Structure 1
C-alpha cells in the first residue's frame, strides 16, 4: 500500500505543471521562462534594496503560530519562524529544516532529531535543543486562560490534550540529549507525526522572546482577537525578521544572517485588500507585485491583462457547518434536508475557479480514506421538503453566520455562496436569518465558540498528506463550531491515526468518511482550486498546495538599466 504522501507528490508535480501552463497562457511570448525547482538565483541581479508588496484578502489574527490557525496568520509566520521539519516543494514529504536528520525509535513512540548548528534567532540568541524543548513544553502546558478550550490549537489536534488532562494527552515529553539533539516522546503511535511537525503551528520561537513578550498572557488585541505582546512581534530563525504590524499591513525585512537561501527581497509587505476589485486594481497599477486569492470575478481580467495566474492543485475543503447545540439541528432529518437542498454543482460552477470539484466527503480523493462508495445526499429539493415535513421543525428562526469583507483560498466569494445557499434553504421551508460578520471583526471566533449560530460557512486547507489532517481538526474532538459530542466518532479517528499505513488504515478512514456522510454533522461542498496573481516582476513563485510559500524562494526579474 503506498504512503499517503505518494498522491500528494503527484499533486505537487501537477501544481508545478499547471503553474507553468497558466503562466505561459497569461503572458504569451513575452514572459521569461519559468525556472524549475533547481534553478539558480544567480540568473538575476535585482537591486540591492527590493521591496515586494503582496496583497491578501483578510488580516491575520495574530502572529503566535501556536495560538492561531488561519491561513493569513500562517502566511506571515512561515516567513519569520521555522519548525524542525518543512515540506519538500517537489514531493510534499517532510524535509530537513531546523532538524537535519531524524530517526524513529520504540516502534514509533519516540523520535530522535539531530539539529542544525550555528543557527541564531533574530534576537541573537542561539537555537539549540533546549529551545526546542522549551517550545514543546510551553505548548503542552498552555492553560485554558491562554488556549481557551484549545479546539483551534494545532497542539490539541495532534496531541489531543494538554498538561491539565495528561491521561488523555498523547504527548509524553521532550528530552535534551545534547546541545543539538532532542527526542520527542509519544504515548501512542501517530502515523502522520513527522508530517504534522511540518505545520507552522510547531515553529520554534526564541525562548527569550517568549519570556520578554509574556507569550501566555493575552492582554493585547489584534483583528478582534486576544493576543500577547509576543504575538505582536514574533521572533524566529526564518528568512525574514518581523518588523511591524497594524490593521491592514504587515512588514518584514530580510534576515541577512539566515542559514539557508538568502532572499532577493529585502523588504516584504503584506497588505490587506478586502474586495477582489481593489486587489486587481492594485496589481494592475503596480501598487502590488502579487496577491492571493484570485477570485472567479477577476480571473479572466487578469489573463486578458497579461498577468501571471498560478493555480494550486486543490487540497482544501469548503463546507456548510451545522451546529447541533441548536435543538432543531440535532435532528438527523433536518440535517439531511439541508444537505439535499444545496446545489453543489451550481456553487462550484458560479463561485469558484473553473475545475473546482464538488464533494460528498471531507477527505480529498488523492488521499487514502476517500471512499469511492460514498455518494452523500444528492441535490433534491423535493426530498428536502419531504424530510423537513417529516421532522419536528416548526419554523424556528435559524441564524446563518457568514463572513463578509473576506476572501479565503477555500472560499473566495463568501457573500455569494451564502446568498445561493440561503435561497435554497429558504425554498424548502427553513426560516433563515442572515448574520454577516466581517472576518476581521471576529468571524472565526463567532463560529468556533459557543454562540447561537445554527449554520456557518467555513473551510479547511490541508497542511500535510494524511487523512487525519482533514477529519481530525474538524471532527476529532468536541467543538462549539458543530456542537456535536460523538465519543464513538472521536474514538474511531483516534484509532485510525495510530494505525500504520496499509489496508487496515485505509479501511478505517473509509469507514469514517461513510459515517460522516450518514450522520451529516456538516455538508462538504467542494474541493476548491485557488490561485495567485503576480506581476511581471516575478520570475518564479514557490506555489504550494498546502500554502507552504516562503518568499525567500520568490525569484525576481532583473531590474531595467538606469541612466
Structure 2
C-alpha cells in the first residue's frame, strides 16, 4: 500500500527528480521535442485504455478524456468550473414545464470530414440513440442514455426504464428542438455529457453498417467504434490513430475548428496502467503529464519543478453490494455489519491526498442536497461481529471484485484499497474471495451486470446537481445494485420533476437519509485528485469534473 513518506525520503526523492528533470530538459527544444518525435507532440500518460472511440457506448473517464477533445456536445461547462455554458449550441432555453428544449446552434461549424453541423444532424444523433435495439439496449453500452433519457422506441426488457425522450425536430437549419415526456432535474446538464456528443452524418452512416453483439459480461463493441477513421466530430482535435497493442491513441489538431486553435499540434494518450510507472515516465521525459498523482508523490514532484494542480472535490468512492447475487446481503444487519467493519478513516489517511474526507453519504458535501442528519456507521468491529452473529451470518463468504490496470480520481490505488478493506472484513470473520479484473471492459461490464457480491466503484459528478449522484444509482431497479426499494425510487422520481430548486434540494436531503438507512452500499470517501505536468508545459485549466480541455495547453 502507499504510505506517507518520511521527510528524509521526500527530500531525497526531490533531489533525484530534479536531476532527472534537468537532464531531460537539456535534450528538448523549447517546444517540447523528445528527440524522437514532433516538436509539437504532447504525450499524456493515461491510466487505462478507452473502452472504444464512441463515447455514446461508454461510461468511463478514460474514454471521455479522449473523446472530449474530438467530439463536442450541445452544452459545455466553463473552463475549470461547473457552470453550464454554450457548446455547439450558442444559446438554449426551455418551456416553463421543462419538456421542450430549444438549441440555437453555432453557424459555420464543420465536422472533421467536411460535413456541416445542422439541426437535422443533431436530431439524427439523438434519434439514433433512441432507436437502438438488441445488444445496444444493454446498460453496458447504453448506460448514459438510459440514465438520462430512459428507454428506447421499443424496449426489449422489462427492466429497461420507459423512454422520456419523445423526439427532436429541426425547426430551422440551426435550431433543434428536443421534446421530453416529463421534466427532469438532469436537464439541461445532461446535454453536456460526453456520451451525447454529436457525430458527423457520414459517421452515422458508417455506424449503421455494424452491430454490437453478446450479452451480460460477454459483449463485443461494434467494429466502427475501434476505427479512428470512422469517427468524425467537431472538436479542436481529430482522431488520427489507435494503436491498441501499445495502448496509444493519437489525435491531431483540426485547423478548421470553429473556436480557438489548439496549442498542441498532436496529442498522444499513452496507457501506463501503473501509477509508479507513469511517474517514472514523466521523470524520464517520456511523457509530459499524467493524471491521478499518488498523494505521497505530490510534494516531491513539486519540489522537482513539475506543476501539480489539485482539482476541487466532486466525487464519491464507494463499496457496493449486489443484493440479489448474495442473499445474505439482503439482510440489513449484514450490510450494517460490513459498514461498521471498515476503517474508512484509516483508508483516507493512507490512500488519499490532503483534503480527502470520509464520506457519510452518496453525495459529496460540496453539492446542495447534502444532509447533516444521515445515519452514521462508525468503525466498530465488535458491533460488526455482533450484527453478523445475530443475523445468522457469522460465517459470511463474499466474492469481492476490484479493478486492475487503472487508477481513478476517487480511487488512486485500487489494489491497495481493496487489501485494506479485505483485511477489515476478515478481522470480523468474513471470508473474502478476491476477484481482480481488468477495468475495461471486463470490470465495468461485470459490475453493471450484477456479477459481484461486493465491488469498488465511484463517481465524479457530470454536472452540479445531487440527482446526478443519487439518480445515477438509485432511481430504479438495476442489476448492479440488485434491490428494489419503492420508497427510494419514488422519492427520486418526485425530486426529479420538482421545478423549485430549494424544494428539490430539501428533497435530496431526505433522500440521502433514506438511502443511508437502507444502506445499498458503503460510501467510503471523497477526494481532490491531482494531475501533473512537465515544467515546459503551459497546462490546461484543471476541472473539478475532470473535463480538462487539452486544446488550452501548449509548450512554453
TM-score by length of 2: 0.88
Summarize the alignment of residues 256-295 of structure 1 with structure 2, pairs less than 5 Å apart: 256-295=255-294
Within 5 Å, give how 1:21-420 maps onto structure 2: 50-89=40-79, 91-149=81-139, 153-165=143-155, 168-214=162-208, 217-218=211-212, 226-232=220-226, 233=228, 234-247=231-244, 248-325=247-324, 326-393=326-393, 395-420=395-420
Corresponding position of 2:426: 426
Note closer, same or farther for the CA distance 1:148–1:311 as it changes in structure 2 (3 Å cut): same
1:309-349 CA-partner distances (Å, limit 9, x unpaired): 11110111000011101111111000000001111110111
1:515-534 → structure 2 map (5 Å cutoff):
515-534=514-533
The superposition leaves residues 415-469 of structure 1 with CA deviations (integer Å, 9 ceiling, x where unpaired) of 1110110111111111111111122461111211132x21101111111001111
SS in 2 for 1:193: coil
Tell me if the contact between 1:144 and 1:150 (Cα under 8 Å) persists in the aligned partners: no
The 3-state SS of whatever aligns with 2:512 is: helix
Distance 1:150 1:441 in 2: 9
Match of 1:18 in 2: none
Aligned length: 516
1:502 to partner: Cα distance: 3.1
Q: Distance in 1 between matches of 2:535 and 2:396?
A: 54
Residue 518 of structure 1: SS of its match in structure 2? helix
- 1:15 alignment counterpart: none
Using the TM superposition, give the Cα deviation of residue 183 of structure 1 relative to its aligned residue in structure 2, in angstroms.
0.6
How far apart in 1 are the matches of 2:31 and 2:531? 24
Following superposition, the deviation at residue 306 of structure 1 comes to 2.2
Q: Structure 1 CA distance, aligned partners of 2:255 and 2:524?
A: 44
C-alpha distance in structure 2 between counterparts of 1:422 and 1:122, whole Å: 49
Q: Distance in 2 between matches of 1:455 and 1:68?
A: 22
Please give the alpha-carbon distance, in whole angstroms, between the structure 1 residues aligned to 2:60 and 2:182: 28
- CA distance, structure 1, for counterparts of residue 249 and residue 292 of structure 2: 17
CA–CA distance in structure 1, aligned partners of residues 141 and 212 of structure 2? 17
> Aligned in 2, Cα 1:308/1:405: closer, same or farther, shift over 3 Å?
same
Q: Which residue of 1 aligns with 2:476?
A: 477
Alpha-carbon distance in 2 for matches of 1:525, 1:503: 27
Q: How many Å separate the matches in 2 of 1:415 and 1:167?
A: 34
**CA gap 1:441/1:61 in 2 versus in 1, 3 angstroms:** closer
Once residues 305 and 139 of structure 1 are traced to their aligned partners in structure 2, the CA distance between those partners, rounded to angstroms, is 48
Shift in alpha-carbon separation, 1:250–1:192, aligned structure 2, 3 A: same
Q: Structure 1, unaligned stretches of length 5 or more?
A: 1-25, 31-43, 558-563
d(CA) in 1 for partners of 2:129, 2:90: 23
Deviation at 1:64, TM superposition (A): 1.3
Query: Which residue number in structure 2 is paired with residue 9 of structure 1?
Result: none
Within 2, Cα distance between the matches of 1:60 and 1:45? 28
Task: Provide the secondary structure at the position in 1 that maps to 2:305.
Answer: coil
Q: 1:331 to 1:216 in 2, by over 3 A?
A: farther
Q: What's the CA shift for 1:400? A: 0.5
Deviates more, 1:162-171 or 1:190-199: 162-171
Distance 1:224 1:284 in 2: 39
Cα distance in 1 between the residues matched to 2:339 and 2:268: 41
Instruction: Please list every run of at least 4 consecutive aligned residues from structure 1 whose deviation after the TM superposition is greater than 6 angstroms.
Output: 44-48
1:110/1:263 CA distance change after superposition, 3 Å: same
Q: Any conservation in 1 of the 2:291–2:532 contact (CA below 8 Å)?
A: yes
Greater displacement, 305-314 / 163-172: 163-172
CA contact (8 A) 1:146 1:216 kept: no
Q: Is the 8 A contact 2:309 2:530 kept in 1?
A: yes
1:358-404 per-residue CA deviation (whole Å, 9 max, x = no partner) reads: 11111121222100112521111111111111103152421101112
Q: 1:121 Cα deviation (Å)?
A: 1.0
Q: Distance in 1 between matches of 2:396 and 2:468?
A: 35
SS of 2:309's partner is strand
CA distance in 2, matches of 1:58, 1:151: 18
Q: Report the CA distance between 1:49 and its aligned residue.
A: 5.2
Provide TM-score, normalisation by structure 1.
Answer: 0.87
| Counterpart for residue 435 of structure 1 | 435
Is contact 1:468-1:497 (8 Å) kept?
yes
How has the CA–CA distance of structure 1 residues 456 and 552 changed in structure 2, closer, same or farther, with 3 Å as cutoff?
A: same
Q: CA deviation at 1:160?
A: 2.1
| Corresponding residue for residue 9 of structure 2 | none
- Find the aligned partners of 1:177 and 1:95 in 2 and give their Cα distance: 22
Give, in whole Å, the separation in 2 of the partners of 1:106 and 1:503.
17
Distance in 2 (CA, whole Å) between partners of 1:167 and 1:196 is: 17
Distance 2:403 2:263 in 1: 36
Structure 1 position 354, deviation (Å): 1.6
Give the secondary-structure state (helix, strand or coil) at the position aligned to 1:260.
coil
Q: Deviations over 1:116-150 (max 9, x none)?
A: 11111111111101110001111111124213146
1:241 partner SS:
strand
